[in-house]
Structure 1
Amino acid sequence: MGAKSGLALKALQWFVRGIQFLSCAVALALFSYFLAVASRHNYNIPTWSKAVEGIAGIGVLYTLAGLLLLCCVAGHPFASGIALILDVAFIGAFIYVAQANRGGASSCRGTVSTIFGRHSASDRLGSGLPSYHQICQMHSAVLAVSIIAIVFFLISAFLEIALVRHRRKERRFGPSPANGYTSGYAKRGFFSRFRRSKGSEEEAINPNTLPEHTQPDQLRPSYNTESTAAGPQYNKYGESGFQHDGQTAYPERTSYPAAGQQQHYGDGTYTR
């Protein structure tokens, strides 16, 4: 289960990085075309267009590196921490890109605002060049992909957090009987979180401890050792006694003679 969820997270992050790469590539391609046309025909190049070009170019390099390294360092705390910071930074950067291309939000008819200034949509940049209407539509495309990039950079930031947490769980719960001695952590039901006290008691039991021996109800009497337990009616000296350390041991007196009668013992005569 753990391996499958980790693979699913990596596949989802790879898809997200792919969308980011395509969005950055579209913005880079269109603004590279704008700057090439402006440089060839001596148009004034605004500073914000160079900033958009730089953001799109760095975004292409970053997302391409993310696609290539995802299978190697996915979920690593250091790599994911850097990726999380860069994702948040690119969210702010593409907000700036969307704001710079806000002219593409119009219908691209009448007077349009483009990188080459405000002109009528029916005018053309020059012979063999696109019209301002087409330039406005290119700005609309950059605006659209910048919004898509913002959303997917936000998603990738949350996925980086999920990958780090999954990696920590994988390292915390190694192979065990609960997960069939495979990688990942054991399956847990929805209501298992409400049985934490019972689970903690079960975890406290050492699985390597041998079971306790059963205790018999009745213990066997023995004549060989004094440490062996015996029943309440058992006389350890036997019926007639035996020699121990040079002295003769006799059984305990359990009855006494009647009045006026004598009873002989090995240690003397008892008269009542």
Structure 2
Amino acid sequence: MGAKSGLALKAVQWFIRGIQFLSCAVALALFSYFLAIASRNNITIPTWSKAVEGISGIGVIYTLLGLLLLCCVAGHPFASAIAIILDIAFIGSFIYVAQANRGGASSCRGTVNTVFGTHPASDSLGSGLPSYQQICRMHSAVLAVSIIAIVFFLISAFLEVVLVRHRRKESRFGPGPGNNYTSGYGKRGGFFSRFRRNKGPEEEAINPNALPEHTTPDQMRPSYNTESTAGGHKYGESGFQHEGQTAYPDTTSYPTAGQQQQHYGDGTYVR
């Protein structure tokens, strides 16, 4: 159970890191395109565009490393602490990226505000270059992926905490009879198991594995077929006596045939 849940958490985190990587890659590609156009055509662009490209570039490197190292260091307290700090830092960074590309929130019609300045949407940067309307739509794409990156960086920071707690719980319990000597932790009672009543002394005293009790001598029934049955004898001072008959004592010899049996209190016999 523990191994399956750990694998599921890693798969979810891998998916989240993949979305973050794609978001950063889209922002990096579009602003690299903007900088390439400005460099080739000697167009001045604001400094914040270079900051956006730097943030998205570092985000690509970080998320790519996260994808590669997730199977090795997922859940380690030190690695997860660094990842949480960086996730929170990228949340703030992409809030800045979204604010810088707020011009893409418009309908990209009429007058548009782009990285190349404010111009009519129908105008173009030059021959063979995109129009301002197209550049505005590129800003809209960067704004969208920035919002997505903010949400997924927030989720990944929370999931890092879950991975650390899962790893600690798995190492605390370890292999044992509760988990069939496999990795992970054994099953525990559910929420309603806390409210189960305690067993009474009668229920606890019953052992389902106990053998049936053997018959004791005082539980033997009297026999009507033989005089040698233990349950049919009564013990006295001079030996033992059968019901309605005089028995022979243990200390004297038995009378022979033809002798009259007479029993005295001292244990002797006469004809």
Q: One fold, TM greater than 0.5?
A: yes
Q: Does 1:130 align with 2:161?
A: no
Counterpart in the other structure of 1:37: 37
Distance in 2 (alpha carbons) for counterparts of 1:195 and 1:83? 40
**Partner deviation per Cα, 1:111-163 (whole Å, 9 max, x = no partner):** 00000000000000000000000000000000000000000000100110000
The alpha carbon displacement at 1:90 in A equals 0.3
The alpha carbon displacement at 1:194 in A equals 2.5
The alpha carbon displacement at 1:45 in A equals 2.0
Distance in 2 (alpha carbons) for counterparts of 1:179 and 1:195? 24
- AA aligned to 2:42 is N
Counterpart in the other structure of 1:183: 183
The alpha carbon displacement at 1:107 in A equals 0.1
The alpha carbon displacement at 1:191 in A equals 2.4
Distance in 2 (alpha carbons) for counterparts of 1:160 and 1:45? 38
- AA aligned to 2:172 is R
Q: Does 1:107 align with 2:107?
A: yes
Counterpart in the other structure of 1:61: 61
Unaligned runs of 5+ in 1: 199-216, 218-272
- 1:137-156 superposed matches below 5 A: 137-156=137-156
Distance in 1 (alpha carbons) for counterparts of 2:47 and 2:124? 23
- 1:198-237 superposed matches below 5 A: none
- 1:46-125 superposed matches below 5 A: 46-125=46-125
Give the structure-2-normalised TM-score: 0.71
The alpha carbon displacement at 1:51 in A equals 0.5
The alpha carbon displacement at 1:192 in A equals 6.3
Distance in 2 (alpha carbons) for counterparts of 1:102 and 1:124? 21
- AA aligned to 1:108 is C
The alpha carbon displacement at 1:188 in A equals 1.8
Give the structure-1-normalised TM-score: 0.71
Unaligned runs of 5+ in 2: 199-215, 217-271
Counterpart in the other structure of 1:9: 9
The alpha carbon displacement at 1:190 in A equals 2.0
Task: Report the structure number with the largest CA radius of gyration.
Answer: 2
The alpha carbon displacement at 1:178 in A equals 1.0
The alpha carbon displacement at 1:193 in A equals 6.8
Q: Residue 119 of structure 1 aligns to a residue in which SS?
A: strand
Distance in 2 (alpha carbons) for counterparts of 1:72 and 1:195? 41
Q: Does 1:161 align with 2:154?
A: no
Give percent identity, aligned residues only: 83
**Partner deviation per Cα, 1:198-230 (whole Å, 9 max, x = no partner):** 8xxxxxxxxxxxxxxxxxx9xxxxxxxxxxxxx
